[in-house]
Amino acid sequence: MIKDITIGQYIIGESFIHKLDPRTKILISLLFIIVLFLATNVQGYVVVFLFLMLCIYVSKVPFRYIYKGLKPIFILMLITAVFNIFFTKGETLVYQLGFLKIYKEGLVLAAFMIIRLTFLIAGTSLLTLTTSPIELTDGIERLLNPFKKIGVPAHELAMMMTIALRFIPTLMDETDKIMKAQMARGADFESGNLINRAKSLVPLLVPLFISSFRRAEDLAMAMEARCYRGGDGRTRMKVLKMTKKDTIAFVNFAIFTILIFGTRFYF
């Protein structure tokens, strides 16, 4: 499951979405999250599904990467579904087992929550899969630049967020290596009750934290050796610039938003 986490990974490509300005992709991703919560019926989720399929097809990202990003949250989906099924009251009783009652409204809400989580992860993962860490840093920094007037350290925040995203796959690989090394020495991470499993993670967490701090120190020394002094006076090899492709992307997203509003108020 550790290798299935795709957050922070970047797939090199020359697709339409790859060539968009990172600010465009960041803004559309944020707006997509908001618009997704406006879909409240089957018609709305059909529109979201078609929009996502179109984005995945245009991005030319292999669908297996989207699926791998969804696998780690299957347990979260299951827990969410169970809570919604058994704790949502309604008018139409479907099944009753003792004091547990399952209503039609709970089943519908559980299905919608699972679909919404799936679309949320699939849609937002396209941002990191089609945007390099450097572009992501520049995009976040440019979007935060207006807040510099009130003392917000735009460059530092952008750098921290990008480094955090970039090192997620690295830490996952490190965790997998440490886990295999501990299992080769006789460690058991799967058997036993919940308390025993938690105790068995100690030999995994301690070397992982040590390795993380060592990587952070190496990164800091490398930045200092290259005379890194923050964003003031920093030049860029590629200057961000909006093009017609970004306008087309915003227009298509506007059409998608209108369709979602239409399904919300018409049906």
Please state, in angstroms and as integers, the Cα–Cα distance from residue 262 to each residue in 35, 44, 178, 257, following that order: 12, 8, 51, 9
Q: What is the per-residue pLDDT across 85-115, written as a single tens digit (0 to 9) for each? A: 888 887 888 887 777 788 888 888 888 889 9
DSSP 8-state code for residue 4: G
Task: Dig out the tokens for 10 from the structure.
Answer: 């970047």
Domain ranges of the chain: 2-167+238-266
DSSP 107-139: HHHHHHHHHHHHHHHHHHHHHHHSS-HHHHHHH
Q: What is the per-residue pLDDT across 59-90, written as a single tens digit (0 to 9) for each? A: 998 888 888 878 778 888 888 888 888 888 87
- 1: confidence class by pLDDT, cuts 50, 70, 90: very low
CA atoms within 13 A on the CB side of 124: 17
At residue 71's C-alpha, the angle toward residues 68 and 76, to 5°, is 150
The predicted structure's pLDDT at residue 233: 64
Decide which of 251 and 202 is more confident: 251
**CB 91 within 8 Å of CB 105:** yes
Q: What is the per-residue pLDDT across 116-153, written as a single tens digit (0 to 9) for each? A: 999 998 888 888 889 887 788 788 888 888 887 888 88
